[in-house]
Structure formats: C-alpha cells, structure tokens
Structure 1
Amino acid sequence: MSILITSLQRVLVVFCAIILILSLISYHLASRSLPKYNQTLFSKEVADKIEIIRDSASIPHIFSTNNHDAFFALGYAHAQDRFWQLNILRRSAQGRLSELFGKKTLHFDEFMRRIDIYNLARLSFNHQSKQAKSILKAYSQGINARLKEINTKALGRGSPEMFLYPNDFSLWQPTDSIAIFKLISLQMTGHIDAEVTYAKTLLALEDQELISALLSEAPGKPIIRLQNLEKVSSKIIPDSKSKENFSSKFKLPSLELAGASNVFGSTKERSAAGGSLIANDPHFELSAPSLFYLARLQLKSGGVIGASIPGTPIILTGRNENLAWGITASYLDDQDIFIEEQNTLNSNLYRTQDGWNAFRSDKNYIKVKNYPDVEIVRKWTKNGPVLPNSSFDLKSITPKNHVAVLSWTGLSDKDTTISSALSLMLSRNVEEGLVSLEDFYAPSLNFLLVDNNKMLLKTVGKMPKRSPLNQTKGMMPSLGWKPENIWRGYWGFEVNPETKSNPGDILGNTNNKISDSEFPKHVSHIWGDTQRIIRWQKLMQSREVHTRESFIEAQLDIVSPTARALLPIIGKELWYSQPMGKVGSIERLRHDAISLLASWNGEMNEHLPEPLIYSTWMKFLQKNLIEDELGPIAQRFNQLNPIFIEKVFRNIDQASKWCDIKQSRNKESCADIASKSLDDALLWLNERYGKNLDALRWGEAHEALHKNKTLGDIPFLKYFVNIRQSTSGGDNTLLRGKTLGIGDEPFLNIHAAIYRAVYDFADPDSSIFVISTGQSGHFLSRHYDDLGILWRRGEYVPMSLDPNLARAASLGITIILPQNIIE
C-alpha cells in the first residue's frame, strides 16, 4: 500500500512539474509580445525625429515635425498595443474569420463577402483627397514598421492569440483602414433588423391596429436646443417629488446594438468659467479591449487628442486646440431591403420595371479551418447585393422564387468618409468643421461642433432620396421592381437636420428625435431614445450656468425617468393595498416589493434592491403583454419599450387590448396583467437570489461584461480575459448600461459608453476623458483594464495637450529616427 501511495505522489509531483513548466513556457512566449515603451528605432519611412511619450495611463503623446510622421507613429502605436485587434477587424471586413475559427464564423463571413465592403473600400481609395491618401499611406507604414519589428526581433508573434490561432499577418494597406471604417459603419446601423421585425410583426398580428402601439414612432416634437434659462424658465415645471445569440464570436448588426450616445454642449454665456463646454459618451457593445484607443498627435496645425479607432488614423471624437467635436448615432434610415422576383424559368434573371435583367454575379470561395473551402455565388441587382436568406431571418419574409437585396449608403465605391473625418481633425472652427463633413457617407452621425464662440449640431451621412409614393416608406421590405420604391440618389447636405446655437444656448442629443419633417425627408421612423432626453433636459435647465463638474454629473446620472413615469400608472391599483401575508408567502413578497418601490426615487444604483425588482417586473410585464399575440416573434422584443407600456396602461388608441390574453376564457384587465407579472418577477427573483428582497443588489445582476471576442469563451482562460464589473444605471438612464434581455443573465450590461469625455474651453488642459477598458489589448499587460477601473467608478484621466504634463509621469519614450541617420 505504501508503494502505491509513493507512486501516486511521484506521479502527482511529475504532473504538477509538467503543468508548471508548460505555464512558464506559455507565459514566456505570451509576454514576449508585451510592448517596450523605452526604445529607439530607425525607419526609412520617416522624415524626421518622432517621439512617442507614454503617460501614466499608457496614452501615446506623439510629437513630430510633420503630419506624415505623426500618423506613421499612430499606426505604430496601434500595432504595439492592439495588434490582434487590428488582425480581427481587418479579417472581419474581408470576411476571412473562418480561416481562424472554422464554421463558427462562416455565417458572418458569408454575409460580409456578399456585401463586398472590402472591394468597395479598395475602389473608394481612389476617391479620397490627396491629404487623406498621404495620411492613410503613412499610417499603414507605421503598422508595417511594427510588423517588421515583431518578425525581426521574434516578439512573440505580436500577441498571445497568434499562438492559439496561427495565421499570416500581411502588410497593412490603406484599403484596410477604409474597410474597417465601413465595418464600424455597418455595426452602427440596425435598419435591416428593424425592417424584418416590422414585417414579421405585421404578419403575426391578427389585429393590425395593435401594431401602432408596439411599433409607434417617437411622440412629441424634437428636443435639440435649450435656450437661455431666462427665456424658458416659465415653461419648465419643476419636479416637486424626489422620489445573433450573445455568445456568438461575431454578430451581424441589430437594432438593439446599433449605437447610442449622449452629446451636449453649452455656449460660453452658460458656462461659469466663461468658456464653451462639451460632453460626449458614445455607446457601443462592450468588449475587451475597447473599440476606442486614446491618443494625442502633434500635427502641423497643432495638437489633436481624443478617441481613435485602431485600424484607422481617425480621432472620431475629440478636440484640437480650437475645435471640439462629439458624436451620437443619428438613427437615420440609411438601409432598405428590397424583395426581388427571380424568373422561374431562369434563376439568373430578376424582374425590373423594364422587364427581366440578368443578375451581376461571380463565384467566391471562403476558406474554413479544418473543412473544405465553401463556394458561394454572389449576386447583385440594380438595388444592391443579394443577401443570404439565413441572415436576419430573411427567409421567413421572403416569398418563394424571390431574394432579398440590400441598399445601404455604405455600399458606395466612392465613399469619402475617411477624407471627411481627417479633414475635421484639422479644422480650426465650427465653419471649417461643417464644410469638412459634407463628404461624410456612413455611418450617419450627429456631430456637435463646438469652438469658443459657437456650437452647431449637424446630422451627417448620406440620406437616401425616396419617392413620396414609396409603398412601405422604408419601414419594411418593399418590391424592388416598383419604380416608386427605388432610391433616387441622396438628398443634399443642406437637407440633413442642423441646429445653430444662439448666445446662452445648450445643444444636445441623446439619440432622440432630431427632425419632425414628413416622409420622405423624415430622417427616420425609429429613434434611439425617448427617455434619457427627459432627464437631460431637466438637469440642464436646473442650473443657470454650468461647469465641467455639472457636465460630469449629468454624464454619470443614474436616475431613470422611465421608472418614475411607468410605476405610478402600472401599480396604481397595487400601491398600499397589499395584505402583509405570512413570512415567505407570495403575498408577503408582493407586499415587501410594493413597499420598496413605493418609496423609491428611480435611482438605478448598483447597491439598491429596487432597480432589480423594477427591471424584473417590467421584463415579465412586457413579455406577458405581447407573448400570446406574437408567439415566437416576441423574442425580438427583449428590451423594455416604455412608449408601448405607457400607451397600453393609458389606453391610448385602444392599446389596452394588449392586456387581454386571447388564449384564455376570461377577459384580463391591465391591472390583472400587472399583478400577475409582479408575481412572476418575484418568483424569478426568489429562485435566483432568495426571498430576502432587502438583500438584492442591482449591481450583482447588472454587471458590465467586457468580453474578449476571441478568447472569451475558452474555459479557464475566459476568467483572465473577460472583465466583469458591478455597475449602476440602466437602459434609460444617462449613465446608460443596456441590458442583454435574454438568457440566465438578462440584466447583464453589454452596451454602454466606451468613451467619456468633457472638454472645457475656459481651461482646455483641464479637459478629461476615459475609455471602458485599458489601452492595451494584451491580457498580460497592466494596461489591459486599468482605465476600466476608473470608468466603472465614474473617474477620468487628464486630456491635456501640454507636452510637459505628458513627460512628467511618462512610462517611457519611444524615439523613431530616419534610417539615413545611421547610414
């Protein structure tokens, strides 16, 4: 027996030693790719000395004597910190992820190949400005300089992921940057998904009048401008009471994750310090690393600082020495699905208004890891590329012998968006910034331009020109051979909504309605917000003048106007009328829940139980209202629709008919559904968290999940590469944290502000910013999540253009010198 025990001990020791050795080898190989920030390099591609100073947050401050070298250095810095992200973004745009991940990403790759954005990017390069072409080439050379360094110095293949998914990283081309920006544009629009949802809902509802409540347009007039407080204070009534499957590696764009943001600014007359103020927090799907990368460049025209997108030379939101700009998703309807009829005798022909035309087509091959190449036949009509029926559930709304085709403003081979964005970075005032944005194609964004004299909020991006006779008005798929449905080019830039400031104004947008124009100049039927704008308006008008701190306070506000509006009407027959019941009974739970909610002020604080009770109640309420009418299609409505709920409980346009469960014999009232939904919610909470409602914490359910898209599903490793943080806020707070809505963790925060910034023209170097993770994409780096800790606490880092501040606490300085210095 002792011999057996001794043998087992030896085997265990050997096994542990092997594990330790393998771990040390893995760590050594992975750590080889950690960038060194203190070094001197030489390149034939630069004209003069470049300094890349890394501040304490690893933000690169790039100093050079010319623009070419500055953008070269930005490309080099991106490749240092985000090498794998560059690889994945480029492969996503090319439709080549399946070469690494096999069949898991084949669906995504097929869609990307069919819309062919990489080839469109290649053709668009010829239409860029001379300045943009030069910058794109310099940026590409910077990435390639890092690639050469990795290969010659054996720097761990550039990133740890390259060992798990070996592949060739080809030289970077200017086309790659244009294609990546087109990819981001695609992710920021969700109108394909919206049109399919509208069509499926119409097909499912027997009572067509019900759809006006569920899919209603945003009510009211657009809110953009808040004038001088003295002019409008009499109109403000003060509030006297202070009470694709998410696990998929890469997903097609959806309306729920299409984009959101807050941007607002005040003229110097409304600033306590006498300088214009602007705050911006663009919202994207959370990921590790973040989509954004903080950078500062010293250009010939002066310093530029803000949020760049790795793979592109663009500071999408930021400031220079004279101008600041912030963005929100505009929700402009820039996509249409057309249903094209195929000839039953010859599937290579499709119907047009003039008869049968031949599809333009070719064969394309997708390489799939561990499987034979997949051949696809790509087709195009005059309206655009034919989409695969498997995408967006198009098969369910496409008749036999028909195909679905996409028209989208981003499918242009003359797309000059990159040139436009680069020109904005170099603009010196609002007027120049506005001119630079005329050539912006996609995505459509609201840009708030601010200098120290004025502000301007402008919707940019091409707006499709539709006929007033369009059969569906762009709300759902239409027949592609009908001339009244076909796009007639784009409206001029002057048609896009625009608001100029007057002295004392505050301008802003929370993805709310920006235009009240009738179709076809309507901008959109769908808006991203009807709730946050209410809270923002109250906060802005509650002060006569604003400061940097008051803008930060608004940016981090966690009060839900939705909860304040809905709870009184939903629970009006439940308040203070619930019997106490026995401890542990459903009656006692209902009594305790109602008591908590009755005294709650709508603050979505991570440490409180009320936000979790409220959110769970609303989740089951909407589910119970729509499930019997819509059946499986109800799964498309996972997020709370406040306008729908309010219309139902106020019985606007007979919307209370949604409360009656048609499958039951009785006629249910809205009060019955509210009570039943509360019981369902309490049962769900009881099963997951226990019966003590006071012990519930919103932050436990509303964790922000910054998921590593490559390694985030790998057992054991996922605990190192995914970042989870308890967070406040919710779907409809200014500090927005959009919930997943499905599965075992429906309240996971998956879509939030990945960049926050406040710029102060009274003291520009007191401006602040932060991103949601860290600067590095290398999970062994201490800068993988360091800024994320500040982000979670609502803190920022300095956004200064002062070179002395960058040098004062630098992590290191990389010097790049011309090659001829040593020759």
Structure 2
Amino acid sequence: MSALSRHPLLWRLAVWVCLPIAIACWFGYAQLRQSLPQAGDRSVAKGLAADVHITRDAHGVPHISASSDMDAYFAMGYLHAQDRLWQLELARRVAQGRLAEVLGQQALSSDIWMRTLDVYGAAERAWPALAPDAKRSLQAYADGINARLDEGATLPPEFLLLGVTPTRWTPIDSLAWFKVFSLNQSNGMRAEADRYLAHKFLPERQWALLERSYPANAPTTLALDRPMQALSDLSRHLERTLGLGGPYVGSNAWVLAGRLTRDGAPLLANDPHMSLQMPSAWYVADLSAPGFAVSGMSVVGLPIIVFGRNRHIAWGGTNMMADTQDLYALETHPERPNVYRMNGQWHAMTVRQEEIAVRADFPASLRAPRAPVRVQLRSTRFGPVVSDATGLIDQPISLRWSGLDDGDTSYQGIFRLAYARNWADFNAALGQVVTPAINVVYADDAGNIGYVAAGRIPLRGTGDGSMPTPAADSTSGWRGYVPFDEMPRALNPTSGVIVSANNKVVDDRYPYFISRDWAPPARAERINSMIADALQRNGKIDMEQTRLMQADTVDLEALALRDYLVAHVSTEVASSAAVRDLARWDGRMDTDQRSATVFNFWLRHLRKRLLLDRIDGEQGAADQIQALRGYVGGVTPVQIRQLLQSGDPAWCGGNGKSATGCAGTLQAALDDALRELRKYGGDPSDWAWGTLHRARFNHVPFGDVNLLDRLFARRLPSPGSENSVNVAGSLYRPMKGYEQNFGAVFRQIMVMGRGGGEHAYMNSTGQSGNPMSPHFDDMLEPFAHAQLYALKQPDTTAGAMRQTLHRAGSASEARP
C-alpha cells in the first residue's frame, strides 16, 4: 500500500494547505527582496545636474561620486530612501506628531508631546534664517528621497504590514528631525523634575549629602509633586518606547597630537552613546565631487556628515551635558486658566487647538475607526506649557529650551563643517550652532588638534535652572546666551591630548554656569590613564591601541565602591567565595566576568536599602518610591561610597528600621543579591555578565510584537557598564536580568595626514533598515567585539556593487 493510500488526510493537508502556504511565503519573500538595491541598478532621476555613480562596498557602505556637492546630497537622499525608508517615515511622523495615525493609541503620548513643543513649527521658523547653500542641500536631499519614491519600488515590510504609503519628503522634514536629534541630547527637563522629587521626598540630611546645596531659585511653597512626577514619567516613557532622551545620551571623543602617534599625524576617536535601535540612527557614507570630499557618519533624515572628516579636517563630538532647558512654574488666574501672572500683571497664554488622528487597535481593518483626539496646546513667554502633555492642568509648567528659538541656524553650522579647511573655518561653522550643546574635538592635516564647546548656553536672570523656577517675576527668565567667543575651547594644548567623555568641561573659575548634570569623571579618567599607559609602554599610539581603548570595560566607579564594600563587611561574609572573587576583580565588565554580575546585583540592592527603604512616609510611600526611582538610579557608586563614609545614621538604620549600622546594611544587600542570583542558577558559573546582561536593539513598532520581534529586533550578550569607556546603560528586569538599551551607536577613528591618512569605522547594526537585507544586522557582532572596517574606495572585485543615478534627459539615460 502506498504512503498516499495509508495517509490520505495528511497528503491532502500537505497539497491543499502546506504547499500553498509555502508558495505564498516564497512569493512574499521574493517580492520583499525586490525592495533591496540590486547590482547594476540604473535609475533616472529628475533634479540631478549630471549622472552620479555609486559603489557599495562589501558591507553596503556607499561611495558617492558626483559632479557637484548638491548632486552628492541628492544621492544621499536617494540612498537613505533605498536603505532606510521606514526609518525616514518614522522620523517624519515623530517630528510632526503624527505617529498615532499608523501606530494607534500607544503613540498618542509622543504625538501630544511633539505638538506641545511645536517641533515642526520651530523647524518652519528656522528655514528663513538658513543661507542659500544650506537650503539647497536640504532641497537636494528631499529631491533624492522623492526620486526613489517616484520609482514605485516594492516597499519595505513595515509599510506592507501596517498598510502605510510614504508621502513626499520636504526640507522642513529634515530640519524638524534635526530638532528631535537635538532634543534627544537635552536632558535638563528630566533632571530638574527628578531633582525636585528627590528634594521633596528624601529626608533633608540625605538630600544635603547627595546634592550638597539647595539651589537658590528653587521653589519652596509651590506644590509641584504631581506635574514633576508626570513630566518625569513622560520622559521615561518616550525613552522606553521611542529611544528619545535618557540619562546615558553621551559620547567619548579624544584627539592626540601627531608627536604622540605612530603615524606622526593627529589621531581622533569618537563613539556617541544613544538609544540602541534597529536599525541604527546612523548611516556610513563617503561623498565626493570636484573640490568636495567628506566621509563619516550621517543621521538618517539629514544629508550631511555629522561626525567625520574631509580632506583637511576631522571632527567628532560628545554631549556637553549643558543645561539648556528650564522649567517655570506658572501662577494662573483662579477663574481664567489660560491667564498667568508675571510682574504683578495677568498675561494671556497663546492657545491653539489641534486634532490627532489615532488608528484603531490591531487588526485595524476589523475594528471601528477611532475618533480624532482634540488637544489644547498652550504657551507663554517662557515657552510651551509642557504639563498639559501629561493631562495635568491644575499646576501649569512651561519649558524654555534653546531649540525652540526662532532663526535657529544649527543645521547650517554642522553643514559647514564639511567645507572647513582649518581651525578658523571650524570655529566659524560651530559659531552658528544653537542646539544641541556639544563638545567638538578637532584635528587637521597641518598637525593641529583642538576643542570647541558649541551651542548656546543660557544666561539666567536668577539661579542656575537646576530646579523648577517660579515664573511670577520676569527676572527669573533668560537674558541671552554665553557669547560664542567666550565658550570653552583649546588649540594645541601642551599635553598633546584632549579627552571629552561628558565630564565637567571647565573648572569653577569659568565665569558662566553650564550644568550640574555632568557624567561621572570615570570614563575620562580611564581614557587619560590608558593613553598615558600606552605612551609609557610603547612611546607612540596607533589605531589598534585606540580601538582597544574604545572597547575597554573597566569601571573605575565600581572599583572605588568595591574596595569599600569588601573592607567593611563582616569577616564571615568576607570569607565567602563571592566576596573573595570580588576582592580580586579588576573592574572589567566583560561578558565572561562573574564578579561583574555580583557587583551589579549588590549595587542595585544597596541603592534600594540605602535610599528607597529610607523614606519615612506612612501615607503615599509607594508613590514616593516610584517618584524617586529615576533619581536613585542616577546615584553613582562613588556617591554611595561617600554616603557610607559619612557615617551618618540617616543611611544605615537611622530611621528606626534597623540598628545594625552600615555593615549590616552591606551584608543584607549582599544577601539579597545572592538570593536573587541563585534564581538564575545555583552554580555561580551561570552568573557570567554576558548571560545576565544583554543588549536589546529595539525596532519601532515591531520590537515588542511576538514573532515579529524575531524578524525586526535583535538581542546579544553585552559587555560594559554605565561608567566604562565601552558604555552600557541598562535596566534590570526581574527574572530576565539586565537589558542594555543605551550604548555606543557607532565607532570611528581617523588619522589625519597630507597623504590622506586613515579612516576606520563600525556602525552598531548594519547599513540597511530592511530585514530582508544581508546588511540589516551584519555589523552587530563585529561591533560587539569592537572590530573596525576601513572606510576607503572599495575594490570592485571584492563584493562591491555599482549603481548609477542618471540625470533625466541625459544621453546615458537611453543606454540599456
């Protein structure tokens, strides 16, 4: 008897169900593959002055050869649309506040926030201030994106899954995304909200030890608990869902004089730290035209190389951590809520009404449409009333941010870096930057190195803006900005070394206030130490040594606290295997390190026992703890050591809950940590840091959708910590371990020299945003191991792919 006769139902199932499904899947896959660039593509594009030739190397990195810089920007737009079309669509909708149209209710808070700030309106108001060439670059880029759309190519899978059709790109879309990019690096609002809540809920002695002094301009009578909590929560929600903002947005950058390098030419290294996402926000490109050549990292949505090099200079940047955002507490009229008091007089707010379209929940085609959400958006002379975005209107809070100023020329400043030939040109370009406030390191082919602090730093009438300010008096407002020629800068320091790692930029002799929210100095100290050690051992430093520095995972803050912990636990505890191993630990947060895991679990429980468990409050204690989580998460290991060393009973049993003192608190926190670790495995060999610390590269919107997350998102073991050079900002998830959601998003090293020098890079994910592409995630593993690729014109025999963009109407258009 044949198999068909023995199992007729199975055969029918295979023929009539499984086979059609397999054919449909194959057909769908083949169709989606058509959305990828094809070898030998010859496209006809309106708007080009001449044909553009593109060669992609084996990693998908394009090398653009054009007849003019504007044609090169056109090609950049075309390539961004070809490789990252969904990312472009997402960026535009985020900036416009139109994400809920396609993602539904989950994106509504983001839309309300962007419309409250009026990010898109600020971009429109920036356009008239730009010079003609900057405007032309944005228009050329938009034309390139639209040329790709006009081809009618198969759309990436996100569009098909959501039923979305992309619309034409405009120059304002790019300017608006630049605003969001700047907003992402401006954390003043969240820092103010968290600081206010900590002062409100922590006992006074504990607060005094953490912050040392109470800012003179901070309110003492206004009840801001609810709006500050709501703004803090909103900030964290945007960080978690869209990767916007966060305490770890920073970077490392350093530059060495040629006398310290093996090549005898300046060496510049850079690795920005942002939200981990799939794909990376960055895109590697090399653009050239007669008299124009620039290469490095572009932000998808912009035509320019943000950090990179041209034939004469190289530049890299870090977040200055400057406070460019202030919150103002408004006093409103008891009967007219849209009127506020200032200088003893009542002033009307500017009020506008907008509708936000909200898509029905999935599957939208089977559900009734949602009614548009109407929102009232208010603003004052201080700025938008941001508390409205949280739904709280009883205590309105306005936000002043430099990025909302009219006439913002920040894009133009970064645009001009590609044309800079020397230190003077470099300074002239950065003098036009309003936001973000960034540290920019510099090297040139004449052997110079330098540093400039760019961006506008506010001059405040009263106080330093580190806490919410009462708005009743106009003298509390801003009265201008620090003059650019008085901003911090350096050229050819005698040390031959400049290091920037979000650490304090200037000492207290500097006459202007910049920030209270510097990153701990650990990364900068470690970089300086590694440079000094390398010079002592080898005499000179090269690219390979620099690459290893970028990969370094030693956490100096952890070592400082570790020394105190192991010295102050009981003899019995000190003899345990975990503590003995910790005492020998060298501070490396490598993936195979068990002591790194023990330390981080101990630290988390110590923070809880020292800070969260110290709150006195029978009523509403849970709300207080929730309000403090953000602030407590930012208390560094060195601060905790200082608290313990203070001997203040407020920390260790001083609230009546315990009389064991700090040694007992340390031991109890360690017991908590080890008890929790045993849930992951009884054998300490199961506690390797890479097992319980994994990087998550999220995708919007499918990173949180079961099954689809396997196609669109990525996870892998990750080294590093918040304070290592190879940085890793992580959140603990019970029974899942630490999930890294912030870290380095690209690395590059550039060596200058009159012969052209060298340029090495690695993106954090891949060049493509299309999961059908082999370049969607082909840089993930190399990046995790701190490998670098050379950025140079590819050998066409080594996996390179050629494309040509033909000018419409050219003779070459007719060729097959």
> What is the TM-score of this pair, normalised by structure 2?
0.90
Matched, 1:425 2:421: no
Q: What pairs up with 1:383-402 in 2 under 5 angstroms? A: 383-389=382-388, 391=390, 401-402=394-395
The answer for the alignment partner of 2:618 in structure 1 is none
Contact 1:249 1:710 in 2 (8 A): no
CA distance in 1, matches of 2:39, 2:436: 35
Q: Which moved more, 1:557-566 or 1:769-778?
A: 557-566
**CA pair 299-420 structure 1, distance change in 2 beyond 3 A:** farther
Matched, 1:307 2:297: yes
Amino acid at match of 2:766: G
Contact 2:573 2:667 in 1 (8 A): no
Amino acid at match of 2:427: L
Contact 1:592 1:693 in 2 (8 A): no
Matched, 1:536 2:532: no
Which blocks of at least 5 consecutive residues in structure 1 are unaligned? 218-243, 581-590
Amino acid at match of 1:673: T
Contact 1:755 1:769 in 2 (8 A): yes
CA distance in 1, matches of 2:290, 2:627: 55
Q: Which moved more, 1:777-786 or 1:626-635?
A: 626-635
CA distance in 1, matches of 2:686, 2:735: 20
Select the residue among 552, 561, 578 that pairs with 1:557. 552
The answer for the alignment partner of 2:176 in structure 1 is 179
**CA pair 387-372 structure 1, distance change in 2 beyond 3 A:** same
CA distance in 2, matches of 1:180, 1:539: 37
The answer for the alignment partner of 1:160 in structure 2 is 157
The answer for the alignment partner of 2:589 in structure 1 is 604
**CA pair 575-30 structure 1, distance change in 2 beyond 3 A:** farther
Matched, 1:513 2:504: yes
Contact 1:708 1:721 in 2 (8 A): yes
The answer for the alignment partner of 1:437 in structure 2 is 430
Q: What pairs up with 1:479-498 in 2 under 5 angstroms? A: 479-498=470-489
Select the residue among 791, 797, 809 that pairs with 2:798. 809
CA distance in 2, matches of 1:255, 1:162: 29
Contact 1:420 1:440 in 2 (8 A): yes
Q: Which moved more, 1:565-574 or 1:433-442?
A: 565-574
CA distance in 1, matches of 2:183, 2:546: 31
The answer for the alignment partner of 1:241 in structure 2 is none
1:76-103 CA deviation, whole Å, 9 max, x = no partner? 0111100000000010000000000110
**CA pair 522-133 structure 1, distance change in 2 beyond 3 A:** same
1:528-574 CA deviation, whole Å, 9 max, x = no partner? 23211221121111214322222112111111212221111122133
The answer for the alignment partner of 1:210 in structure 2 is 206
Contact 2:693 2:718 in 1 (8 A): yes
**CA pair 279-567 structure 1, distance change in 2 beyond 3 A:** same
1:268-290 CA deviation, whole Å, 9 max, x = no partner? 12122211111100111101100
The answer for the alignment partner of 1:684 in structure 2 is 676
1:612-650 CA deviation, whole Å, 9 max, x = no partner? 111111111111111123433332133551232121122
Give aligned pairs, total: 763
The answer for the alignment partner of 2:226 in structure 1 is none
**CA pair 403-552 structure 1, distance change in 2 beyond 3 A:** same
CA distance in 2, matches of 1:299, 1:489: 40
CA distance in 2, matches of 1:806, 1:88: 35
**CA pair 27-49 structure 1, distance change in 2 beyond 3 A:** same
Contact 2:570 2:663 in 1 (8 A): no
Q: Quote the RMSD (CA, aligned, Å).
A: 2.3
CA distance in 1, matches of 2:191, 2:76: 37
Contact 1:606 1:698 in 2 (8 A): yes
The answer for the alignment partner of 1:821 in structure 2 is 810
Amino acid at match of 2:809: N
CA distance in 2, matches of 1:655, 1:457: 42
Q: What pairs up with 1:569-580 in 2 under 5 angstroms? A: 569-574=564-569, 577-578=572-573
The answer for the alignment partner of 1:460 in structure 2 is 454
**CA pair 169-213 structure 1, distance change in 2 beyond 3 A:** same
CA distance in 2, matches of 1:746, 1:77: 38
CA distance in 2, matches of 1:193, 1:106: 20
Which blocks of at least 5 consecutive residues in structure 2 are unaligned? 214-234, 361-369, 616-624
CA distance in 1, matches of 2:570, 2:679: 25
The answer for the alignment partner of 2:783 in structure 1 is 791
CA distance in 1, matches of 2:541, 2:21: 59
CA distance in 2, matches of 1:680, 1:70: 58
Percent of aligned positions with the same letter in both sequences?
A: 28
Matched, 1:674 2:679: no
Return the offset for 1:821. 1.7
1:254-278 CA deviation, whole Å, 9 max, x = no partner? 5424x11100011112122211111
Matched, 1:632 2:626: yes
1:186-231 CA deviation, whole Å, 9 max, x = no partner? 11111111111111111112x32311333469xxxxxxxxxxxxxx
**CA pair 501-660 structure 1, distance change in 2 beyond 3 A:** farther
Matched, 1:776 2:768: yes
Return the offset for 1:26. 3.0
CA distance in 1, matches of 2:342, 2:583: 61
Contact 2:313 2:752 in 1 (8 A): no
Helix, strand or coil for the counterpart of 2:137? helix
CA distance in 2, matches of 1:496, 1:575: 51
**CA pair 60-568 structure 1, distance change in 2 beyond 3 A:** same
Select the residue among 42, 45, 57 that pairs with 1:43. 45
CA distance in 1, matches of 2:327, 2:526: 35
1:665-723 CA deviation, whole Å, 9 max, x = no partner? x32311111111110000110012x1211342111112111111221112112112211
CA distance in 2, matches of 1:3, 1:345: 85
Return the offset for 1:174. 0.6
Contact 1:37 1:54 in 2 (8 A): no
Select the residue among 430, 441, 465 that pairs with 1:474. 465
Helix, strand or coil for the counterpart of 2:340? strand
Return the offset for 1:479. 1.0
Matched, 1:20 2:22: yes
Contact 2:310 2:418 in 1 (8 A): yes
CA distance in 1, matches of 2:377, 2:5: 69
Matched, 1:345 2:344: no
**CA pair 775-269 structure 1, distance change in 2 beyond 3 A:** same
1:319-344 CA deviation, whole Å, 9 max, x = no partner? 11110000101000000011111111
> What is the TM-score of this pair, normalised by structure 1?
0.89
**CA pair 821-737 structure 1, distance change in 2 beyond 3 A:** same
**CA pair 201-474 structure 1, distance change in 2 beyond 3 A:** same
Select the residue among 702, 713, 717 that pairs with 2:708. 717
**CA pair 390-178 structure 1, distance change in 2 beyond 3 A:** closer
Helix, strand or coil for the counterpart of 2:806? strand
Return the offset for 1:4. 12
Amino acid at match of 2:626: P
1:754-807 CA deviation, whole Å, 9 max, x = no partner? 11011112464532101100000000100001112210121111022xx4x454
Helix, strand or coil for the counterpart of 2:482? coil
Return the offset for 1:111. 0.6
Helix, strand or coil for the counterpart of 2:38? coil
Helix, strand or coil for the counterpart of 1:521? coil
Amino acid at match of 2:448: K
Q: Which moved more, 1:671-680 or 1:521-530?
A: 521-530
1:36-82 CA deviation, whole Å, 9 max, x = no partner? 24211222311112101101111010001211111100110111100
Contact 1:216 1:644 in 2 (8 A): no
Amino acid at match of 1:612: T
Q: What pairs up with 1:196-207 in 2 under 5 angstroms? A: 196-205=193-202, 207=203
**CA pair 760-351 structure 1, distance change in 2 beyond 3 A:** same
Amino acid at match of 1:369: R
Q: What pairs up with 1:24-35 in 2 under 5 angstroms? A: 24-35=26-37
Amino acid at match of 1:281: D
Q: Which moved more, 1:331-340 or 1:564-573?
A: 564-573
Select the residue among 643, 657, 660 that pairs with 2:653. 660
1:368-404 CA deviation, whole Å, 9 max, x = no partner? 012110111111100001114454xx95xxxx74301
**CA pair 639-7 structure 1, distance change in 2 beyond 3 A:** farther
Select the residue among 400, 408, 412 that pairs with 1:415. 408
Matched, 1:99 2:98: no
Contact 1:366 1:375 in 2 (8 A): yes
